[in-house]
Chains A and B, each alone.
Chain A
Amino acid sequence: MNLLEIKNLKMDFGKNAEALRAIDDVSLTIGAGETVCLVGESGCGKTVTALSIARLVPTPPANYVGGEILLNGQDILKMPNGELRNIRGGVVSYVFQEPGAALNPVFRVGNQIKESLKLHKPEKATNEEVIRLLKLVGIPAPESRIRNYPFEMSGGMQQRVMIAMALASEPKLLVADEPTTALDVTIQAQILELLHELKQRLGMAILLITHNLGIVGDMADRVAVMYAGQIVELAPVKELLRQPLHPYTKALMASVPKLRGDADRLSAIPGNVPRIGNFPAGCRFAPRCPMAKPECSEKVPELVEVEAGRWVRCPFWKTS
């Protein structure tokens, strides 16, 4: 049994006539200790999918209309609130994009970490444990740092504190939503290395959300590509990077600027990502796809397993 199984998840914002589908038939599995990267542009639904794992999307206005999310075999969507609170932090933890924004500005850093501990591992809710955690994430002089307020720390350090807070309750799955986007490149590298190291030491599974293909190559075991609320490709990382099958994935990889070669123009994908509520009929990428055929706009293509562990949502994946 996999640690996380999202099966045909469908979620709307709003009800009835005004419903806008944000997550459309998304399926994803993560095994214990595995790192899966969820790739896509802003607005494609990756953040709400990730937040759904712990049912963190407020339910009005969100509305789960289909599918299930099984964490350790239990259905998150049907779980009562009391149990859900144990899952949050206990089984799955989050690291958010803006490092400072996820820390409460009026409480000291040490107290915030201790709060997490008191909830999930009360016997370990001590200053020593907090210091150990801060050391674990590579914060120098942790004894003095526990009395700091978040605004007294740099962005990189705040992100490390967030990671420490996420690890405090020893989760099985760490969901990191673009954890390095707001940081400098050098700090980015440090944080990613930290995540990698922690994963190896603690055997944690990681769901890493990013729009940066470079990170994917470094960190992922498997990759899921999302577009306009749907998963369009799912594959182990090496296969995906060597030979992407979905036209969107191909276009994404082609748009990464190359330092070598003689390309003189940046190749961008023409058009714009369709906004929620304005999805085209049929294949959602068709308006921008170089290989689009008339039948693409008639029916939404199915996500099909074309090889072992490789899924594509495009009937014409063979041609390229």
Chain B
Amino acid sequence: METAEPISIAEAKFTLSPGQLFWQRLKRRKIAVAGGVILIFLYAVALTAGFVAPFYYDHLNTDYSFHPPLWPRLSGFHLIVPRTEAQADGFVYHELPNDTKPLHFFVCGDKYKLFGFIPASIHLFGTGDSNYPVYLLGADQFGRDVFSRILYGSQISLSIGIIGIALSFAFGMIIGGISGYFAGSTDTVIMRLCELIMSIPALYLIISLRAAFPPGMSSSEIYAMIVVILSFIGWASMARVIRGMTLSLREQQFVLAARALGQSHLKIICRHILPNTFSYVIVAATLSVPYYILGEVVLSFLGVGIQEPQASWGNMLSAAEDVQYLQNYPWLLAPSAAIFVTVLAFNFLGDGLRDAADTKSL
């Protein structure tokens, strides 16, 4: 019987690396890809919110309080925008006949700062005349365009989600790694602290933390405060899971091998143990971002987060808390659609990531 010819290590061709395999499995899941695409789109829009939004977030127009959605119409080959006027009493609007302006793209409008520092005044679409506004999703009590405010709000909500997750997971991973690696009394103390934090229902803890900050703060201070509060909630549960994984990983032979080579403890934790937790961390992070976004929404909704006139999905929704308003002006609920789509996209993506990482399934 013949035996196979041996081949050299250099010639050996292995199949895909774990990373490539993961990516391939991920691409096969349509739902995850859909989620990812939606998120890329949302973040791109948030980044260029000032440009896409026809108005600045606190562009008031009391002539148009509670204006229902006003879309441009097709007339021949042009899009035109009619002008409306309020009835004598109440906020019912009717169109003025033969009083329209054409819709332009890349039109000049409110001033804003692109990416936060480039002054600009070009908007994606609009009429160029604030007497002929385009209210894609209607206007709120002060005549501010709901669509524009949703876009500005997305900047806050989407960024808080990512930054909050990054901070709390980074912190949680390190603490969890240290706790599981060194075990003993360090571990006990850290775990008791984590249990303490985790045993308080999330929103009660959030409110307690909020109480620790003074009431009057600038908007950037508020933003930073929200990030800090949300990160504080999340790190404990991450630390616990990482600690559990570390406890078992540190018994593995490759850790012993690293010690035998003289690696320092910190190096072992960071370079050997923690990378083995990445597949869990990525999935958990993606599935947790919605909670961070919702955390900010709740805080702003209850009035203790982002304050007026800044736009946040949360404080926009608090206007809808009045049932009368909700019945008469249902477009005030529009931010909930934005929240829904964002959370759904993260759930799709996270679910797909989890399936792709779980090599036991198809």
Contacts and interface: CB of A to CB of B under 8 A. Distances in A.
Q: Do chains A and B touch in the complex (CB under 8 A)?
A: yes
Interface of A: 251, 267-270, 290
10 contacts: A251-B1, A267-B1, A268-B1, A268-B3, A269-B1, A270-B1, A270-B2, A270-B3, A270-B4, A290-B1
Interface in B1-36: 1-4
Top 5 closest pairs, chain A to chain B, by CB: A290-B1, A267-B1, A270-B4, A270-B2, A270-B1
Nearest to B3: A270
A290 B2 CA distance: 8
Interface in B114-152: none
Most chain A beta-carbon contacts within 10 A, residue among B1, B2, B3, B4: B1
**Main DSSP-derived SS at the B contact region:** loop
B264 to A, nearest CB: 41
Contacts of A270: 1-4
A223 to B, nearest CB: 23
A168 to B, nearest CB: 34
Interface residues of B, number: 4
Contacts, number: 10
A61 to B, nearest CB: 12
A20 B330 CA distance: 56
A270 B3 CA distance: 6
Contacts of B3: 268, 270
B59 to A, nearest CB: 59
Nearest to A288: B1
Contacts of A269: 1
A246 to B, nearest CB: 16
Contacts of A268: 1, 3
A2 to B, nearest CB: 38
Interface in B43-70: none
Given A270-B1, A270-B3, 8 more contacts: A251-B1, A267-B1, A268-B1, A268-B3, A269-B1, A270-B2, A270-B4, A290-B1
Nearest to A265: B3
B80 to A, nearest CB: 55
A289 to B, nearest CB: 10
A4 to B, nearest CB: 34
Contacts of B2: 270
A236 to B, nearest CB: 27
B15 to A, nearest CB: 15
Interface in B67-101: none
A270 B4 CA distance: 7
Contacts of A251: 1
Contacts of A290: 1
A270 B2 CA distance: 7
A291 to B, nearest CB: 11
A290 to B, nearest CB: 6
A265 to B, nearest CB: 8
A272 to B, nearest CB: 11
Nearest to B2: A270
Contacts of B1: 251, 267-270, 290
B295 to A, nearest CB: 39
Contacts of A267: 1
A222 B1 CA distance: 28
B360 to A, nearest CB: 16
Nearest to A290: B1
A281 B1 CA distance: 22
A290 B1 CA distance: 7
